[in-house]
Amino acid sequence: MMSDLSSVTNAKADDNDFSNVGRAPWWRRGFFASQTAYVATALVVIMVVMSLLSPAFLSSGNLANVAKNFSFVGIVTLGVTLVIVTGGIDLSVGSTMALSAIICAIVMQAVNGTVLDSIPLAGMLLSLGAGLGVALLIGLANGFLIARVGLSPFVTTLGMLSIVRGLAYAVTEGRGQAPTGPDVDLFYAITDGNLGGIPVAIIYLLVLAVIVGVVLHHTAFGRHIFALGGNERAAALTGIAVERVKVAVYVLCALSAGFAGILMVGWLGSAPANLATGYELTIIAAAVIGGANLTGGVGGPAGAVIGALLIEVIRNGLVLAGINAYWQIVLVGCIIILAVLVDRLRTMRMTP
Amino acid sequence: MSLLILENVGKEFGAIRALSQVNLTIRPGEVVGLMGDNGAGKSTLVKIIAGNFPPSHGRILFEDREVHFARPIDARSVGIEVVYQHLALADNLTASANVFLGRELKRRVGPFAFLDHAAMNRRTAELFRELKSETRPDDLVRAMSGGQRQAVAIARTRLAKAKLILMDEPTAAISVRQVAEVLDLIHRLKDAGIAVILISHRMPDVFSVCERVVVMRRGVKVADKPIGDSSPEEVTALITGAKEAA
């Protein structure tokens, strides 16, 4: 194998190497050359520094807190990353989290005391299904308007953000909805419990991240998602079902939001109408910090997880350092710009 | 046997007559240059053959059977492929991903179908070797030269077992060395028995690879003759209208 661009004259080195085409060394291509890789490095450095500065950072209580906080955002970031890779955007995820959570809690209250109580798990499964069903409908609406009608993803999902948030306030009249019923303990266990001392939320996140990774890189559907973001016209010319792929990513994104919203009900013990307000921006920021490119074609689950974790670790660090919460918002903004700025400088240097 | 026959093909867009009474025959393995000024009807003709829209008059025969193309996929299914000027490649994917885009090779594992990366890379490497192009299957298209991109686009058509390839200005906006590469690719296709219609503005390209030159002017075919019986000067005169027909 060639180790450097300068040794390209050695044509016999490998069957697959050519006399006049150089190949970048391994650390300059693939994962190692990606924004995700250096953001991961930055994350490790920040975590080491923080554990040195504050002994509280590595305490199990604090780590569990960080893990839970970032898992909710991380799960939705996985979904939004799929949309961003196709070259789209979904601003309605925060509202979707709230409405799914509220519908789940309301259905649980409504079936409490009915005949369903006598059938084990029926009430809980029905309420989980209702919560995710609402998310599915929101995703279908987004997908239909964007893929079929051809509206801009930004405007469509901005409208949906408002519609869904409004519905969340309308159906609750602003009051928080608490889950109840015979299975409520089980509900708390699967949404806010621990498995072997690890919060279930982070287990969901990691399992979903692995699934998203396999789907993106090892299935035709995943490849078509990338193709759409790379060159939509080309994708259509090769016969890819562009509309179907687009609808699918908006549906998956909405479902990830609905799922995370339901997890948050377990965490908070209630579904308030203002749940996850403003989360869409944190979620998109996490995707972008992790290396997803808003122009499409680039992004992945590792970036989504790392981006979400980086934001939460920094926020947590500032809390531990006793810095005013308002400054945290400023800093997250700086990190978003810094992450894309470093990537820009790096690619400028690498382009001959 | 003729591969493609157009009989009295015409096309009108409203009151505008883009193409009238075009007769054209392409034999298997033949490389034909299609020339003409902007608006001469070249693209309309190519789009009819590629199935982008049907002709208003006349009929099309492919392998001696009359065909009606409603969509590009219909033309593709009989063996007509187009290599677009802007190549229609996804820059963020590898060469082999582009070659197999929309017809990926898969391995079934239980109820799931996963991409067979190794098989696709192997097949793509074979196609590049046939085309004598120094292109790696697992390199990103973004990092490729114009000639390599052409090779990727042409490898796609080879995978589809095309019998007729329409190439739209393949040598526009690439370097001199890459032009030579692309012309080599066209020779390679001819060797494999594939007919090529080369749409080009560049006289030297047409005269170096084509056996026949067809000239269009104002929607009418004004010349169709063996390249040996013509000259760049004559073709220029036909394109501009200085010479009426030949």
pLDDT band, very low/low/confident/very high, at A212 (cuts 50, 70, 90):
very high
pLDDT number for residue B73: 83
Assigned domain for B72 exists: yes
Cβ of B108: how many Cβ atoms within 10 Å? 9
The whole-angstrom distance between B84's CA and the closest CA on chain A is 10
What tens digit of pLDDT does each residue of B60-112 get?
999 989 999 988 888 888 999 888 767 679 999 999 999 999 889 999 988 89
Task: Choose from B92, B99, B114, B166 for mutation: most chain A CBs within 10 A.
Answer: B92
Distance CA(A313)–CA(B58), nearest Å, equals 70
pLDDT at A58: 85
DSSP symbols for A190-259: HHH-EETTEEHHHHHHHHHHHHHHHHHHHSHHHHHHHHHHH-HHHHHHTT--HHHHHHHHHHHHHHHHHH
Instruction: Say how many domains are in chain A.
Output: 1
Alpha carbon separation from B119 to A14, A257, B152, B167 (Å, rounded): 19, 37, 17, 28
**For residues B54 and B48, is the Cβ–Cβ distance under 8 A?**
yes
Identify whether the C-beta of residue B105 lies closer than 8 Å to the C-beta of residue B115: yes
Contact B32, B214 (CB under 8 A): yes
Nearest-Cα residue of chain B relative to residue A234: B88
B84 at interface of A, judged by CB pairs closer than 8 A: yes
Chain A residue numbers with beta carbons less than 8 Å from the beta carbon of B136 are 16, 18, 21, 23
Of B101, B102, B114, the CB nearest to A219: B114
The most confident of A60-69, A133-142, B57-66, by mean pLDDT: A133-142
| Secondary structure of residue A109 in the 3-state scheme | helix
Residue B84 domain flag:
yes
Mean pLDDT estimate for chain B: 88
Average pLDDT, chain A: 86
pLDDT digits (tens, 9 = 90+) for A250-308: 999 999 999 999 999 999 999 999 999 989 988 998 998 888 888 899 999 999 999 99
Q: Tokens 């979400």 — which residue?
A: A308
Residues of B in contact with A234 (CB under 8 A): 87-90, 101
In a domain, residue A109? The reply is: yes
User: B26 pairs with which residues across the strands?
Assistant: B4
Q: In terms of Cα–Cα distance, which of A50, A46, A28 is closest to A37?
A: A28
Distance from CA of A132 to the nearest CA of B (A): 24
- Rg, Å, chain A Cα set: 22
What CATH number corresponds to the domain at position A234? 1.10.3470
Among A214, A238, A298, most B C-beta atoms within 10 A, so best to mutate, is A238
Does any domain span residue A275?
A: yes
Give the integer Cα–Cα distance in Å for A226 and A221: 9
CB contact under 8 A, A231 and B90: yes
| Residue B197 identity | I
Task: From A350, A348, A342, select the one nearest A40 (Cα to Cα).
Answer: A342
Interface membership of A234 toward B (CB under 8 Å): yes
Find chain B residues with C-beta within 8 A of A299's C-beta.
none
Largest CA distance in chain B: 68
**Interface check A16 vs B, CB under 8 A:** yes
Which domain range does residue A201 map to? 33-50+58-346
Q: What is the mean pLDDT of residues A303-327?
A: 87
Is residue B211 helix, strand or coil?
A: coil
Q: What is the mean pLDDT of residues A189-205?
A: 89
- Pairwise CA distance, residues A303 & B170, whole Å: 38
Residue B105 within any structural domain of the chain: no
- Residue A278 falls inside a structural domain: yes
- Min Cα separation B62/chain A (Å): 22
In 3D space, the residue among A304, A284, A299, A312 whose CA is nearest the CA of residue A75 turns out to be A304
DSSP symbol at A276:
T
State which of A65-79, A315-329, A330-344, B132-146 shows the largest mean pLDDT. Answer: A65-79
Q: Domains in chain B: how many in total?
A: 1
Q: Which residues in chain A are contacts of B149 at CB distance < 8 A?
A: none
DSSP A146: I
A332 vs A327: CA distance, rounded Å: 9
Q: Is residue B116 part of a domain?
A: no
- Cβ contact A297–B113 (<8 Å): no
CA–CA dist A286, A289 (Å, integer):
5
Whether A7 is in a domain gets the answer no
Paired with B213 in beta bridges are B33, B225
Which DSSP string do the residues of A83-95 spell out, in sequence order?
A: HHHTT-----HHH
B49 is a domain residue: yes
Which residue type, as a one-letter code, is found at position A299?
G
The answer to whether position B104 is within a domain reads no
Maximum mean pLDDT: which of A159-163, A313-317, B140-144: A159-163
| pLDDT at residue A54 is higher than 70 | yes
Query: Pick the residue with more confidence: A18 or B182?
Result: B182
Smallest Cβ distance to B90: which of A23, A217, A230? A230
Assigned domain for A2 exists: no
Give the CA distances from residue A169 to residues A281, A283, B121, in Å, rounded to whole numbers and listed in that order: 20, 22, 53
Domain that holds residue B163: 4-93+145-240
Query: The domain that contains B164 carries what CATH number?
Result: 3.40.50.300
Choose the closest CB to A238 out of B102, B125, B135. Answer: B102
CB B46 within 8 A of CB B82: yes
If you average pLDDT over residues B201-212, what whole number do you get? 90
Q: Tell me, yes or no, whether A17 lies in a domain.
A: no
* B217 assigned to some structural domain: yes
- How many other C-beta atoms lie within 10 A of the C-beta of residue A197? 7
**A352 C-beta neighbours (distance < 10 Å), count:** 4
Has residue B186 got a pLDDT over 60? yes
